[in-house]
C-alpha cells in the first residue's frame, strides 16, 4: 500500500497483478478503481525498414526508415554506412526513438552513384543500426538492424525537384526505365500521408516533367515519395 502521489512499485515480470487504487478527500469522500495488469519484461528491438535512394547529379541522396519495435525508448541510434569502394562512415539520429516510433531520416553523406558493371562483383550499399538505451539491454534481434541495396541495376530516378523551397507548386523530373505503375505521394516528417498525387498511374518509359500543386500545404518540411510496381522507392525532401 502506498500513500504517495506518484507511487512506484516493482513487480515480477510476466505475471498477472491486481491493482487497487483508493483515493480520499478532506471532506471524507472516497473512490476506488481496480484493474488487472500484466507486467512484461522490457526489450529493445531496432528495425531498419527500408533504404530509399535518389540519384542527384551522380551522387546518392539516402533516406533511412527506422522504427523502434521494442518496449523501451532507444536513447541513441548510430547509423553505420558501408559504401562500395569507400570508407565506412557513421551518423547519429538527432533524437531518442520512443517505443513504436517510426522515423524517416535523410543522411548527410552522399556517396557517388557510379559503379562499375564490367566486373563479377555486385555493388551493395549497406546501413547498419546500433541502438543504445538506459537499461543496458541488448537488441533482441540483430537481423533487422541491417539493410542493403544492390545499386547496379537501373531503377526509378527522381532527377530533381525545383524550385525548392517552393511556394504554391514545384516540378519533379522523373526518369522511368520501363513502363511502370507508379504512385507519387507527399508525406510529412513523421511519415504521415498528406497528399496522393498519382495512385498506381501508368508511366511510359522516358523522362517526365511533373507539375505538383502544394498550395494547400502548410509551411514546413515534406517528402515526395515515388514508388513503382517493382518495389523501387525514392524519397526526396522539399520545403514549402
* Residues comprising the chain, all counted: 240
Do the domains at 46-150 and 157-239 have one common CATH topology? yes
Dihedral of the alpha carbons of 212, 217, 223, 227, in degrees to the nearest 10? -50
Confidence tier at 213 by pLDDT (50, 70, 90): very high
Higher pLDDT: 118 or 191? It is 191
Q: Indicate if the pLDDT at residue 101 is higher than 90.
A: yes
**Is 46:66 a contact under the CB 8 Å cutoff?**
yes
Q: Give the range among 2-16, 82-96, 100-114, 118-132 with minimum mean pLDDT.
A: 2-16
Q: Under CATH, domain 46-150 is a member of which superfamily?
A: Immunoglobulins (2.60.40.10)
pLDDT in tens, 144-187: 898 877 676 556 777 678 899 999 999 998 878 778 899 999 99
CA 229 from chain center: how many Å?
21
The SS3 of residue 128 is strand
CATH match for 157-239 among 3.30.360.10, 2.60.40.1930, 2.30.30.100, 3.40.50.150: 2.60.40.1930
Give the cell for residue 154.
537501373
pLDDT of 119 above 50: yes
Output the pLDDT for position 1: 47
At 23-66, the pLDDT tens digits run 666 666 666 666 666 666 789 999 999 888 877 777 888 999 99
Q: How far is CA 124 from CA 84, 112, 116, 141, 152, in A?
A: 6, 12, 12, 22, 8
User: 237 is written with which cell numbers?
Assistant: 525532401
Q: What is the mean pLDDT of residues 71-77?
A: 95
The three-state secondary structure class of 144 is helix
Residue 150 neighbours by CB distance under 10 Å: 11
Burial profile 109-148: b = 16 or more Cβ within 10 angstroms, e = fewer: eebebebeeeeeeebebbbbbebbbeeebebeeeeebebe
Q: What is the pLDDT of residue 215?
A: 94
The domain limits of the chain are 46-150, 157-239
Closest CA to 236 of 170, 147, 161: 161
Amino acid at each position: 500500500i502506498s500513500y504517495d502521489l506518484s507511487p512506484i512499485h516493482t513487480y515480477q515480470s510476466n505475471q498477472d497483478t491486481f491493482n487497487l487504487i483508493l483515493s480520499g478527500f478532506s471532506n471524507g469522500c472516497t473512490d476506488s478503481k481496480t484493474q488487472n495488469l500484466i507486467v512484461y519484461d522490457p526489450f529493445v528491438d531496432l528495425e531498419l525498414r527500408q533504404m530509399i535512394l535518389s540519384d542527384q547529379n551522380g551522387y546518392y541522396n539516402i533516406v533511412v526508415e527506422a522504427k523502434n519495435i521494442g518496449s523501451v525508448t532507444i536513447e541513441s541510434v548510430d547509423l553505420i554506412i558501408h559504401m562500395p569502394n569507400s570508407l565506412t562512415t557513421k551518423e547519429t539520429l538527432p533524437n531518442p526513438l520512443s517505443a513504436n516510433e517510426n522515423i524517416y531520416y535523410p543522411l548527410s553523406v552522399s556517396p557517388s552513384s557510379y559503379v562499375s558493371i564490367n566486373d563479377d562483383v555486385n555493388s551493395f550499399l549497406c546501413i547498419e543500426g546500433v541502438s543504445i538505451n538506459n537499461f543496458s539491454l541488448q537488441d533482441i534481434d540483430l537481423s533487422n538492424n541491417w539493410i542493403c541495396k544492390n545499386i547496379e541495376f537501373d531503377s526509378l530516378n527522381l532527377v530533381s525537384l525545383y524550385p525548392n523551397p517552393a511556394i504554391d507548386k514545384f516540378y519533379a523530373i522523373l526518369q522511368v526505365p520501363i513502363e511502370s505503375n507508379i504512385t507519387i505521394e507527399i508525406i510529412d516528417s513523421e511519415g504521415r500521408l498528406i497528399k496522393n498525387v498519382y495512385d498506381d498511374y501508368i508511366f511510359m518509359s522516358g523522362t517526365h516533367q511533373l507539375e505538383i500543386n502544394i498550395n494547400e500545404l502548410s509551411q514546413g518540411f515534406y517528402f515526395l515519395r515515388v514508388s513503382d510496381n517493382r518495389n523501387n522507392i525514392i524519397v526526396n525532401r522539399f520545403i514549402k
